[in-house]
Structure 1
Amino acid sequence: MLLIISIMSFHASAACDSPAHRQFDFWLGTWDVYSPQHKIVGINKITSQLNGCILTEEYQTPSGYQGQSINIFDVSNQQWHQTWVDNSGLLLSLNGKFDGQSMVLEGPGKTPKGENIVHRITWTPSADKSVRQHWESSQNNGKTWTTLFDGKYVKRK
């Protein structure tokens, strides 16, 4: 049993050292999040954990809204995966890829009326070291998109 644990420990640390595992590292840090109207709407803390295998997110707003996510590069399907939960009971399960400029994750969901919806969240790093997060939804399988959230992340010093 000790030998198996030792092998698994070595494999776990080496397993997350690939360039693909570092594609979302631009999001690491503690951020003030601003609306398009330049008002602060939240604080987000992104950390690397489990030997760099996951990124965890802790988001909160001044009004008391809170959410958390776990993000991982899934080697088995060569995609990023995010599981998001919040204090309103929302659960999002998103999958996608880094396209060379942005991390783009999508996944199915339901509207409050129970209708099918697709969520798409795009994170794009900027030259000024900020990150734009753009969350959209579609009720017609991606033919048209509606913005649900558009935030600019500015790293705290």
Structure 2
Amino acid sequence: MNADAIPEVCSGEELRQFDFWLGEWQVADTAGVVLGANVITRVANGCGVLEHWTSESSGNEGMSLNWYDRSIGRWTQVWVGSGFNLTLTGGFEGGRMVLSGQRETDKGVVVDRITWIPLEDGRVRQLWDVSKNGGATWEAAFDGMYTRVMK
């Protein structure tokens, strides 16, 4: 690929749909208890979004790489962290990013659905729901509020 073509390939409205998530964040649960820190940056000449999570209590870390695949018109996230990995796909719908995917566990297939909601005050709410019956019913696995770290 011609190096001059990279900026053009990595530009466009679709590639900016996750921009609301960029930055350095403190993440808390619904009771306001701080769970950890998350740093979200653009990588690969703007073609990808890199997440670096650090847990407040355990120090465990996780990372995800997110990108918009023009060939399928969808976003993909690959997460690797303490205990498990996720591969999710989806898109920006109704003012929010929704990604989902399946993973095998020792108890069967689990469907994960993660939703990022940009709020008017600049915070981001992240909801992670899981289904153990193919999406017929859902349970909340995580409900977190991202607040920007001011420097």
Q: What's the TM-score, normalizing by structure 1?
A: 0.92
Distance 1:105 1:10 in 2: 31
Counterpart in the other structure of 1:147: 140
Counterpart in the other structure of 1:107: 101
Counterpart in the other structure of 1:118: 111
1:80 aligns with 2:70: no
Counterpart in the other structure of 2:122: 129
Structure 2 residue runs without a partner (length 5+) = none
SS of residue matched to 2:94:
coil
Distance 2:113 2:94 in 1: 17
Distance 2:82 2:96 in 1: 27
SS of residue matched to 1:154:
strand
Counterpart of 2:10 in structure 1: which amino acid?
C
Spell out structure 1 runs of 4+ moving beyond 6 A: none
Structure 1 residue runs without a partner (length 5+) = none
SS of residue matched to 2:30:
coil
Task: Indicate the structure (1 or 2) with the bigger Cα radius of gyration.
Answer: 1
Bigger strand fraction: 2
Bigger helix fraction: 1
Q: What is the deviation of 1:100?
A: 3.4
Q: What's the TM-score, normalizing by structure 2?
A: 0.95
CA RMSD of superposed structures (Å): 1.0
Distance 1:129 1:137 in 2: 26
Percent of aligned pairs with the same amino acid: 40
SS of residue matched to 2:91:
strand
